[in-house]
Structure 1
Amino acid sequence: MGPRFPSPREHYRARNRTLFMYTSAIFITTLGISYAAVPLYRAFCAATGFAGIPVTDSARFGSDRLTPIVTAKRIKVHFNADTSAALAWTFTPQQKFVTVLPGETALAFYTAKNNSDKDVIGIATYNVTPSKVAPYFAKVECFCFEEQKLLAGEEVDLPLFFFIDKDFADDPLMRDIDDVVLSYTFFKARRNEQGHLEPDADDVTVDAASGFSEYTRGKR
């Protein structure tokens, strides 16, 4: 008896099974990438300074990076604070600005107070203006993207320890930079589809450069 060839029906069934497996694999991979997109994007920005996000890569905090360039000009770092319309907090910087040399560390503080009669969890986001400074603006310690739970009526001081990388002084694109604005915005925390707390950023847009907020109704 000669070899048996599959019938057209069997051939189409096998092809459909293969197509289904490929489609399922692509769907699962895409779904996984979607779930990971936000934390991966945040990590990428924190490591590179992309989108005006100050660098938080600990590999850049070596002692060789923390040597002030005494021959460089001082940079005035201004501090801005905003809160979402949905968050009944008072949030203010304790100093208007500080001046630093490239490679010099600085310590600043913000104050947050829960004005409501309920315990509330808030999460702060941040950015730097002008955005081209972000790759050189490194934060050693800060309260950004961390859950801050304030009890009803509680007031806390939030420290910020940062420096402007010494390579700032050698970049010709930074020669016109004398002032930098570091802007924080506190949002009420919400749980995403994966059950993790994240800032509810649908209610506010912030103009960090001017220090003013425009409250708007976002679309989900």
Structure 2
Amino acid sequence: MTSKSNLDQTSSSPQPLIQRPIRVGPMPRYRSREEMYAVRAQKNRSLLMYTGAVIITFLGLTYAAVPLYRLFCSATGFAGTPSTRTQAASGPEFPEWMPEWLKTLLSPSTTAEDRFAPSRLIAVDPADNPKSRRFKVTFSSSTSTALPWTFRPAQHHVYVLPGESSLAFYTAKNNSKDDIIGVATYNVTPDRIAPYFSKIECFCFDEQKLLGSEIVDMPLLFFIDKDVLDDPSCRNVEDVVLSYTFFKARRNQQGQLEPDAPEDVIQKSLGFESYELAKKASDESSKGAPRD
């Protein structure tokens, strides 16, 4: 009996845990403490370079957000920006549900020679194409409060057929005695016709310098691409408004001339007031800067 009870106690007692040695990888060996510090410093420099590259990349994307957005609008005619891209004569077929701006963006673009080829600058007579009609193009103008100019269109409106080039003029007068450089922004409404509104010659391509009390006539040569007749979204469009806004010019950090006005005012003149744009990095940094 005694031996059996001892056996039961022995079997019920907890067994000791067998601890196995933990294997670790080989530790790096350094010849000296200076070598160890040098290796660690090299790793820290690599980490710092990678972190700096990421920060610079995101800052670059922030600065490029607005130019890329304007490039997108110029390519698609979004928000009333006259397009600088057209579809090739033969391109891929897209489903009917796809919007026109996406078809334009995905289609192969033609060169400037194809866009302004003589064959495309022929008026489409309604007798030859039942879809053809005359578009009424109304001209609008305005100036910023900081620019002492008088800027008006020489004519209120013109009527043009698709493919027909038309010449119009704006008149600008410098009401001050100082020489002033101005830059113009523009937009076309309604937005859906902007991809087909093409300017051959325009004073908005370059900055304009007016001497004190000088009066100049600024020419505008444009046409409406005949492809507008094949766009279902423009089927009922007959009235087009071309708006120009002149600003006093200033030089940015890159030495380029730009409108001297708040960003929201510039975006409104371009027709982007109803769209939320990415903020510039300079605006974000100015918010965090301490005020005097």
- TM-score normalized by structure 1? 0.83
Q: Secondary structure at the match of 1:149?
A: strand
Tell me: higher relative CO, structure 1 or 2? Use CA pairs within 8 A at least 6 residues apart: 1
Aligned mates of 1:185, 1:42 — CA distance in 2 = 17
Aligned mates of 1:50, 1:82 — CA distance in 2 = 22
CA RMSD of aligned residues (A): 2.8
Aligned twin of 2:175: 115
Aligned twin of 1:90: 150
Q: Secondary structure at the match of 1:18?
A: helix
Give the count of matched residue pairs: 209
- 1:67 matched to 2:67: no
Aligned twin of 1:184: 244
Comparing 198-207 with 125-134, which one deviates more in the overlay? 198-207
Comparing 68-77 with 35-44, which one deviates more in the overlay? 35-44
- 1:49 matched to 2:77: yes
Aligned mates of 2:84, 2:165 — CA distance in 1 = 14
Contact 1:129–1:208 (Cα < 8 Å) also in 2:
no
* Deviation digits for residues 130-170 of structure 1 (CA, Å, limit 9, x no counterpart): 11111010111101141100000001110001111111011
Aligned mates of 2:68, 2:216 — CA distance in 1 = 30
| Larger Rg over CA atoms | 2
Aligned mates of 2:189, 2:212 — CA distance in 1 = 33
Once the two structures are TM-superposed, the CA of residue 201 in structure 1 deviates from its matched residue by 3.0
Once the two structures are TM-superposed, the CA of residue 66 in structure 1 deviates from its matched residue by 1.4
Once the two structures are TM-superposed, the CA of residue 92 in structure 1 deviates from its matched residue by 0.3
1:141–1:34: structure 2 CA closer, same or farther, 3 Å change rule?
farther
Once the two structures are TM-superposed, the CA of residue 34 in structure 1 deviates from its matched residue by 4.9
Once the two structures are TM-superposed, the CA of residue 67 in structure 1 deviates from its matched residue by 2.1
Moved >6 Å (runs of 4+): none
Q: Secondary structure at the match of 1:21?
A: helix
Structure 2, unpaired ranges of 5+: 1-25, 86-111, 127-131, 272-282, 284-292
Aligned mates of 1:5, 1:145 — CA distance in 2 = 67
Contact 2:136–2:158 (Cα < 8 Å) also in 1:
yes
* Match 1:20 to one of 22, 44, 48: 48
Letter in 2 for 1:185: T
Letter in 2 for 1:17: R
Aligned mates of 2:241, 2:48 — CA distance in 1 = 52
Comparing 189-198 with 52-61, which one deviates more in the overlay? 52-61
* Match 1:76 to one of 136, 159, 180: 136
- 1:102 matched to 2:159: no
Aligned mates of 2:269, 2:69 — CA distance in 1 = 22
Structure 1, unpaired ranges of 5+: 210-219
Aligned mates of 1:77, 1:194 — CA distance in 2 = 36
Q: Secondary structure at the match of 2:204?
A: coil
Letter in 2 for 1:69: V
1:133–1:10: structure 2 CA closer, same or farther, 3 Å change rule?
same
Once the two structures are TM-superposed, the CA of residue 16 in structure 1 deviates from its matched residue by 2.3
Q: Secondary structure at the match of 2:245?
A: strand
Contact 2:136–2:159 (Cα < 8 Å) also in 1:
yes
Once the two structures are TM-superposed, the CA of residue 32 in structure 1 deviates from its matched residue by 4.4
Letter in 2 for 1:162: F
- 1:147 matched to 2:175: no
- 1:170 matched to 2:230: yes
Once the two structures are TM-superposed, the CA of residue 45 in structure 1 deviates from its matched residue by 3.4
Report which of the two has the higher share of helix: 2
* Match 1:137 to one of 197, 206, 226: 197
Comparing 18-27 with 94-103, which one deviates more in the overlay? 18-27
Aligned twin of 1:214: none
